[in-house]
Amino acid sequence: MVLKIDVDTYRGTREGVPNLVRMLTAHNAGATFLFSLGPDHTGWAMRRALRPGFFSKVSRTSVVEHYGFKTLMYGVLLPGPDIGKDCAAEMRAVRDAGFECGIHTWDHVLWQDNVARRDAAWSARMMRKAAARFTQVFGVAPCTHGAAGWQMNNGAFHEHDTAGYAYASDGRCVLNADGTLANPADGPHRLSDGNKVLAHIQMPTTLPTLDELLGCEIGGVTIGTANIAAFLLKLTEGATRDHVYTLHAELEGQKLAPIFQQLLAGWQAQGYQLASMADYHQKIQHLPMPVCPITWGELPGRSGQLIVQGAALA
């Protein structure tokens, strides 16, 4: 079980990340923390209100409760704090605790809301800005990436190869309405842009996230905080395959920490080793790898299009 932690906000970095480090350490669990390294402009995300499905998600997941009113004002009524500058000590503490660290983005909302329609030059500038800040914070160059909102473009994927990343986790496996994998064979793969097969390995997220499940009715049962851990553990029972689970410092690291504690204990009881992306790469790097086209699609419980694993090319 690969634990991939997206850190979206200033508050998540300051408060959620240390909580997660404590929980993971207590369980002797590995994980990869992917940091937002520039300004926190979470308030800009309110522009998504016109998108289909946005209000239903907001009402289900209590955005104000989980992110905090102040965070939702960053970039609107309050200046966005510089996460990489102001939270460098918190980030280095994650590395010092033994966890892999990588890049989520420079500016989470700017990337998530724009990259799909931007060109390769814009994408490379944003990614190199994040990489430079990462190097400034950690003293070494980054080695992996997980896209904000699972939003990418062809040029951004090429930038991974330019940067020399061996692996990244930028997309999702397609899911059925009940959270199960639509294509059970999906998992690690390489990408083709139609002309070239890229060198790095993609490790797509294979499970639904908490914010995609909370408040949804599945099989006649409404998923809430009391039963969501059991629901996810049902999806992984049997330990017959590897999974990548994406969690958020703002959710599992804060209000939903008790749920994450249940998941950690449950996955270990099921026989999973809780690992980082680097650990997983060591396991799979020499295995035969399908090649899939860069593909967009939708997922249950999430509004808009995002990168999903396409059907393997012949």
181 located within any domain: no
Cβ-contact 43, 72 below 8 angstroms: yes
* 7-50 pLDDT per residue, tens: 999 999 999 999 999 999 999 999 999 999 999 867 645 554 44
271 located within any domain: yes
Domain count, the chain: 1
Q: Report which of 238, 159, 170, 248 is spatially closest to residue 202, judged by C-alpha positions.
A: 170
pLDDT bucket at 3, cuts 50 / 70 / 90 = very high
DSSP assignments along the chain, one per residue: -EEEEEE-SHHIIIIIHHHHHHHHHHTT---EEEEE-SB--GGGGGGGGGSTTHHHHHHHHTHHHHH-HHHHHBTTTBPPPBHHHHTHHHHHHHHHTT-EEEEEESSHHHHHHHGGGS-HHHHHHHHHHHHHHHHHHHSS----B--GGG---HHHHHHHHHHT-SEE---B--B-TTSSBSSTT--SBEEE-SS-B-SSEE--B-S--HHHHTT-EETTEE--TTTHHHHHHHHHTT--S--EEEEETTTTTTTTHHHHHHHHHHHHHTT---B-HHHHHHHHTTS---EEEEEEE--TT--S-EEEE-PPP-
157 located within any domain: yes
Residue 66 has pLDDT above 50, yes or no: no
pLDDT bucket at 57, cuts 50 / 70 / 90 = very low
What range does the domain containing 152 cover? 2-170+225-291
296 located within any domain: no
Distance CA 228, CA 55 (A): 21
**Kindly report the CA angle at 141 between 15 and 82, in degrees rounded to 5?**
40
Residue 121 has pLDDT above 70, yes or no: yes
Distance CA 175, CA 302 (A): 11
138 located within any domain: yes
pLDDT bucket at 239, cuts 50 / 70 / 90 = confident
300 located within any domain: no
Single-letter residue type at 21? V
77 located within any domain: yes
**What's the CATH code of the domain at 125?**
3.20.20.370
Residue 23: predicted pLDDT: 98
216 located within any domain: no
The dihedral over CA atoms of 261, 267, 272, 275, expressed in degrees to the nearest 10, equals -30
